[in-house]
Structure 1
Amino acid sequence: MPDPDTPAPPAGYRIVDGRIRNPEGCEINVALHCNLRCRSCSHLSPVLPAWFADPARIARDLTELARVYSCSHIKILGGEPLLHPDLVEIVAAVRASGITDRVTVCTNGLLLPTVDVALWAALDEIEISVYPGAAPGDEELTLFRRRADEHAVRLDVKLVPTFRESYSERGAQDPELTTRIYRTCEIVHVWRCHTVHEGVFYRCPQSYFLHRPGFPGADTESEGLPIGSDPDFGARLFEHLTASRGPAACRWCLGTVGRRRPHTQLGRARWRAAQDLPSEELVDVRLLVEREVSMADSPYEKQPLGVAEFAPDAWVRRDRRGG
């Protein structure tokens, strides 16, 4: 078992055409609320107020970020993204930013029969999570497949019969457990679910959600990085991404080792009460140990900063100092 006092090795990143390259996807949340109340929703949507992202803000943030960062795809999600009234405009803003060539919407699919075909024409991929008791019917799925074929959209339909516990209201009582959860977190180290929200870049969505007012991490530093236009921003983003210790939210987050439970819907009044236990009681200990062993065999290594690969002068100067 890894030494809990040793920081987790950071995931490696390459510099491609002068920009940090995330081989996975970056997420933007365009609606915080949802039309479902899924137990253990990691984005806390069942208890968040109605809120929609401003397309102009997304355009500004992603265009600025694209100076120094690119990703395989942008995932548009929430909450339920199809609740957003200007979703086609948001997709256009993502494309115009130049941060990626691929745009995906992640949805529960219940509102998909009502969306304008312009959304299908604008997207590259739609991911539908099908939940027991709250799923599109066979006729609707047939419609989705036909629309996908017509617009050359990749359609990914996933049955989600279970959820893993996502966070604890009380948090980990033992700091060692916090370290172990971070070290085995696929959200950060494997899926690399970077998140941009309201001008701030986060290593993972939980770094934003668990620091919202009223939630356990509200009184601690969120450790998000404000997106900047200064010449040193790229170097600061690289340091942020390759930090060896997890964000403060890890104290309450269960990463990807929460206990598995059957999918269910819970009303707003009961939703947070289900999480009102310490992390120690919500973690799948066997899975945690299995992940520690498997990840020890495939450590994540920090890529060296190669002077020739960097376009921004500030990064070159930093590299020559041996940073």
Structure 2
Amino acid sequence: MKLPRRKFLRLAVGAAALPVVSRIARAQTYPSRPVRIIVGGPAGGSGDFHARLIGQWLSERLGQPFIIENRPGAGTNIGTEAVVRAPADGYTLLLALTPNAINATLYERLNFNFIRDIAPVAGIVHGPQVLVMHPAHSSKSVSDIIAYAKANPAKLNMASGGNGTPGHIAGELFKIMAGVNLTHVPYRGEGPALTDAISGQVQLMFVSASPSLEFIRAGKLRAVAVTTPVRSSALPAVPTIAETLPGYEAHAWAGMGAPKGTPPEIIEKLNGQINAGLASPGIKARYADLGLTPLILSPADFGKFVAEDTQRWAKVIRAANIKLE
């Protein structure tokens, strides 16, 4: 049976429109059940804080629980791989962090490629690490540290949360640019390293802003400089390392990712809701108190941000010949 040409064209146009209608309907009904946010670190860590803060906002705005699931291990790689292997349906998300950019070069063999296998959804925040020293040490500025280190090679101990952690990589970049030899002392986590920095067992440390602020404000640690190109709102009197070493930059960041192939309309919906949360007075105030800046970006721009950070740390890792223990 032959269809009249006009009727055939109407049917063809209607069939072509079905995928568009289906995508719109899928975005409108998402989420229809609980969503998991996988965090590749332990409960109580900085990544956990970001996931819970944004997860609560998304739960309130989208009407379904956003459940935080901690999968620590292998420098966030265990949690990341769990998301890479999950269905690309928007119901499993990744709290992406600076270590994801570092690990792409640090680990010679991974079962995934972070840039290829995780779709960028939204940025959350970025902010400085802080170069801190025990208050008893004579060095009070970046220039003092460089002068002391050059006069006393390898006599300054630099603590970190472990080989290849953001604090370690930031310290290695400092060593390269300042031309100094600091003795790296890796710990099993940032918490134990911070404890020994406070007690004076080690002299200096590059540490995340959020866990160090209370000790800086209490006078238990001296904040020498921050690692971002501009000063931190939480420590406005503390200079940047770049003021002494032009071009120095190291920041920590957090964002949201999803398995490759997640429908773009779901990614766009999540991006819009997360960005709205970051612009809300309550979340802005929480982050400002920690010296962190909301990272309000489109999915494409967040992907570009991550790719550039991955390239930046690859150069440092190779130049410093950083290896895992």
Query: For the superposition of Structure 1 and Structure 2, which TM-score range results when normalised by the shorter chain?
Result: under 0.3
User: Between Structure 1 and Structure 2, which shows a larger proportion of helix residues?
Assistant: 2
